[in-house]
Structure formats: structure tokens, C-alpha cells
């Protein structure tokens, strides 16, 4: 009973004191007083019934009340208010009650405050975590937007560059024809230089277009039957001169599965193998060796391209398959395409990965690390599914038609050879 009296006695001074201390401005104070009245009422209920759960609804409201500004500034506003309320309650009790009543009241309310504080802290944390994750979501959205912008910029720039390049190419060819007729060899040499530049530009622009196709999931594959050994032979022929110029050895081993017929886009897979092998050439000093090996695994063919080059550091291995992963190394740019360490725009491996992944395969690299003295090299692994049927329905139809024609002609042939069968079936 004494407790109830004490609670009633300090009611008004408590509300006044706390609102004066904690709310500045008339408007804010009015709303705050309302909240304090509600809190106090529930506090009284909790004290009288001994059930601290009475306060939970208001704590829930308070705990979820922080504004975006509070959250951005990292305020733990509500926990602060409750903390202050504890000390102000002690002051108010001391000023308005006898020592004994004050002690009795505080013994009853302090555990309730403690409970309230823990509940509010939890709610505030939850609100904060929700806020942070929504901020993260927004940032992620912005990053994705940036990436989309970058990707469409690449695509637009590449297409824009292609038109003047074609013009330059045409005029250079015309000049070469004119000069060829007049036999001015000096100019012919210069024009050859221009032509090399054009070819390299065209290659870079094509790479930019490929990257944006892959980025936007627009890479279309032309599935056809292919044999890895054929592609490797082509590669050997195409790179023969470069290999000889750089005094390298390119060893292409026979392996199980290299002559298996699989379905894939042979042009694109060739492009992938070409990229990895020209990288092996670029990052292997003269007199080094590049070895192509492989094996047949259940459902996959693994192609392994190993070099005795400078290797790749672990942290670099993590980014080389990302587009422009190599952008930081401006010092390496613009050197020749197969010259030792002649870095390019860093699009080769992202394209290669895009091609391999579009086939349902994977590519990864193993290297002990970057070391230009030890030259422990890098090993690229490419896993390609051994598709035994075309995933392009048109191709599948074509091949099944061919199968039917084949079986029909076989049947016709055996019918001719064995007329009795024909008779019996008629």
C-alpha cells in the first residue's frame, strides 16, 4: 500500500522532471509527456502486479522508434533515455519521499528498469541491424547499377569505335594497293605497321564486345560436334611462328578424351584455348616450355595448359578472371600481343571464363606464386562437359534427321540385298 502511495506521490514530479531534462522544445515535450504518462502507468501496473511484462508493448514501440537520422548517426537514443530515467527516478524519489519509502520504491522499480533496458537494447539492436542491412542492400543496388553502366559503356564504346576503324582499315587497304602498284617499299612497311595497329585495335574492340555479351548473358553458343585434338592442332599451327620467334617449346600431348566427339561451340572453345595459350606464351620467358595435357573424367574433359613462366601470386589469382583485373598495371600495357609480359586490357581471361562457363564448364589456375627467377609457372585447368548430344534443338533435329536418313538408306540397302524380307513385311 505504501508503495502504491509513493508511486502516486512522485507521479507528477517524475513526469515533469524527466520531460524537462530529456525533451527540448515545447512541441517535442508535449508528445514526450504523453509517452511518459503511458510508461508510468504501465510501470505502476508492473510494480503492483509483480509482472514486468506490462511494459513490453511500450518498450517495443520505443525500441523500434529510432528515425533514419538516429540510425545514421549511430545514436542509441532509447537506451540512453531509460538510463537517464533511472537516475532521475532516484533523484525524484529522494526529493519527494521519506528515506524508507524511497528505498522501498527504488527496490521495486530498479529491476523493472533493468529489464526494460535489456529489452530496449535488444529492440534497438534489431532495428539497427535491419537498418544496416537495408543500407547494404541499397549500396549493393548502386554497385550493380554502376556495373551495368560500365558494361553498357563498354558495349557502346566498342560499337562506336568499330565504325571509324573499319573506315581506316578500308583506306589503308586502298593506300596499300596504290603504293603496291608504284613499288614504294618504304611506305609499304609503314602501311604494314598501320595494319598491325588496326588488327590489334580490332582485337581489343572484339574483346570489349565479347565481355559485354558475357556480362549481359547474351553470349550465344553455336553447338556443333567437335574434337579437342582438332582445336589443339589448329592452335599449334596458328602459334607455330610465335613459338619459334620466342624460342619456346609447345608440347601438345595426346590424352584420353582428346579425340572424343563432344558438342560445343568450336569457335568459342578455340578462342578460350587460344587466350590461355597466348597468355602462357606472354608470361613465359624465351626458351621456356608450354605443355598442353588433359584427361577424361566422368562427364568431363579436363584440358591442362601449363607453362614454365613467371607464375601468378595468390592474390592476383583471385582477380585475373574478373574483367579489367589487370587494370592497375598500366606499366605493362600496350606491349606486343605475344611479347614477354606484354599485358593487354585484361579481358582475355574473363572472356575465357565466360565461354567455358556458358558451356557448363569451369576454369581455374594453379600457381606457386609470382617468381621471375624460379619460374615455377602457372597451370590453367579447363573442365568441359562431354556433352554427347547437342543442346541446340535445331542441331539436335538436324543430326537426328541425318540418323533417320542413314537408317532409312541402310534399310533400303538391306531390302535390296534381301528381297524376301521386303516381301514378308509387305
Give residues in contact with ligand ADP (CB under 6 A).
Answer: 275, 279-280, 283, 307, 309-310, 312, 320, 325-326, 343-349, 378
Beta 249-252 vs 289-297: how paired, if at all? parallel
* Minimum CB distance to ligand ADP, residue 147 (Å): 18
Between 245 and 259, whose beta carbon lies closer to ligand ADP? 245
- Cα separation, 86 vs 94, in Å, equals 12
Between 264 and 309, whose beta carbon lies closer to ligand ADP? 309
Between 10 and 349, whose beta carbon lies closer to ligand ADP? 349
Would you list the DSSP string of 236-248? Answer: HHHHHHHHHHTT-
Instruction: Look up residue 1 and give its three cell numbers.
Output: 500500500
Between 18 and 280, whose beta carbon lies closer to ligand ADP? 280
Between 343 and 360, whose beta carbon lies closer to ligand ADP? 343
For residue 203, with 0-12 CB atoms within 10 Å meaning exposed, 13-18 middle and 19 or more buried, which class applies? middle
Q: What are phi and psi for residue 364, nearest 5 degrees? A: -150, 170
Nearest alpha-carbon partner for 308 in 227, 392, 377:
377
**Can you give 318-345 as a three-state secondary structure string?**
CCCCCCCCCCCCHHHCCCCCCCCCCCCC
Between 63 and 361, whose beta carbon lies closer to ligand ADP? 361
Between 92 and 347, whose beta carbon lies closer to ligand ADP? 347
* Minimum CB distance to ligand ADP, residue 315 (Å): 12
- Cα separation, 263 vs 359, in Å, equals 9
Contact 348, 327 (CB under 8 A): no
Between 81 and 310, whose beta carbon lies closer to ligand ADP? 310
Task: Using alpha carbons only, give the angle 406, 411, 413 rounded to the nearest 5 degrees.
Answer: 95
- Cα separation, 383 vs 363, in Å, equals 6
The C-alpha R_g of the chain, in whole angstroms, comes to 39
* Minimum CB distance to ligand ADP, residue 312 (Å): 5
Q: Helices 348-358 and 185-215: crossing angle, nearest 10°?
A: 50
Amino acid at each position: 500500500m505504501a508503495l502504491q502511495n509513493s508511486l502516486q506521490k512522485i507521479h507528477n514530479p517524475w513526469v515533469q522532471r524527466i520531460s524537462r531534462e530529456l525533451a527540448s522544445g515545447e512541441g517535442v515535450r508535449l508528445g514526450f509527456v504523453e509517452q511518459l504518462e503511458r510508461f508510468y502507468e504501465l510501470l505502476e501496473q508492473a510494480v503492483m502486479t509483480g509482472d514486468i511484462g506490462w511494459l513490453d508493448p511500450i518498450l517495443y514501440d520505443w525500441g523500434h522508434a529510432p528515425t533514419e537520422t538516429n540510425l545514421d548517426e549511430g545514436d542509441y537514443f532509447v537506451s540512453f533515455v531509460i538510463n537517464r530515467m533511472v537516475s532521475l527516478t532516484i533523484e525524484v524519489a529522494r526529493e519527494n519521499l521519506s528515506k524508507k519509502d524511497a528505498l522501498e520504491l527504488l527496490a521495486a522499480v530498479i529491476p523493472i528498469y533493468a529489464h526494460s533496458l535489456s529489452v530496449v537494447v535488444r529492440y534497438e539492436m534489431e532495428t539497427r541491424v535491419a537498418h544496416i542491412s537495408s543500407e547494404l542492400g541499397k549500396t549493393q543496388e548502386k554497385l550493380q547499377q554502376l556495373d551495368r553502366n560500365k558494361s553498357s559503356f563498354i558495349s557502346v564504346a566498342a560499337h562506336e569505335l568499330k565504325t571509324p576503324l573499319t573506315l581506316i582499315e578500308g583506306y589503308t587497304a586502298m593506300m596499300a594497293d596504290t603504293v603496291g602498284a608504284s613499288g614504294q617499299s618504304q611506305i609499304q612497311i609503314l602501311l604494314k605497321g598501320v595494319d598491325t595497329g588496326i588488327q590489334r585495335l580490332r582485337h581489343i574492340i572484339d574483346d570489349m564486345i565479347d565481355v559485354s555479351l558475357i556480362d549481359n548473358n547474351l553470349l550465344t553458343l553455336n553447338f556443333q560436334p567437335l574434337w579437342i585434338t582438332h582445336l589443339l592442332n589448329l592452335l599449334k599451327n596458328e602459334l607455330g611462328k610465335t613459338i619459334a620467334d620466342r624460342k619456346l617449346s609447345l608440347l601438345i600431348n595426346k590424352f584420353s578424351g582428346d579425340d572424343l566427339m563432344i558438342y560445343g561451340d568450336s569457335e568459342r572453345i578455340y578462342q578460350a584455348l587460344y587466350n590461355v595459350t597466348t597468355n602462357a606464351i606472354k608470361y613465359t620467358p624465351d626458351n621456356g616450355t608450354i605443355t598442353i595435357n588433359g584427361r577424361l573424367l566422368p562427364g568431363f574433359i579436363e584440358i591442362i595448359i601449363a607453362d614454365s613462366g613467371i607464375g601468378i601470386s595468390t592474390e592476383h589469382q583471385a582477380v585475373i578472371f574478373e574483367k579489367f583485373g589487370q587494370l592497375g598495371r598500366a606499366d605493362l600495357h600496350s606491349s606486343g600481343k605475344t611479347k614477354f609480359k606484354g599485358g593487354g586490357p585484361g579481358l582475355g581471361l574473363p572472356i575465357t571464363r565466360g565461354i567455358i562457363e556458358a558451356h557448363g564448364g569451369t576454369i581455374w589456375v594453379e600457381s606457386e606464386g609470382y617468381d621471375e627467377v624460379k619460374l615455377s609457372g602457372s597451370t590453367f585447368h579447363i573442365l568441359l562437359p562431354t556433352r554427347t548430344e547437342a543442346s541446340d534443338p535445331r542441331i539436335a533435329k538436324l543430326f537426328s534427321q541425318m540418323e533417320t536418313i542413314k537408317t532409312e538408306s541402310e534399310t533400303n540397302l538391306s531390302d535390296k540385298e534381301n528381297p524376301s524380307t521386303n516381301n514378308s513385311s509387305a
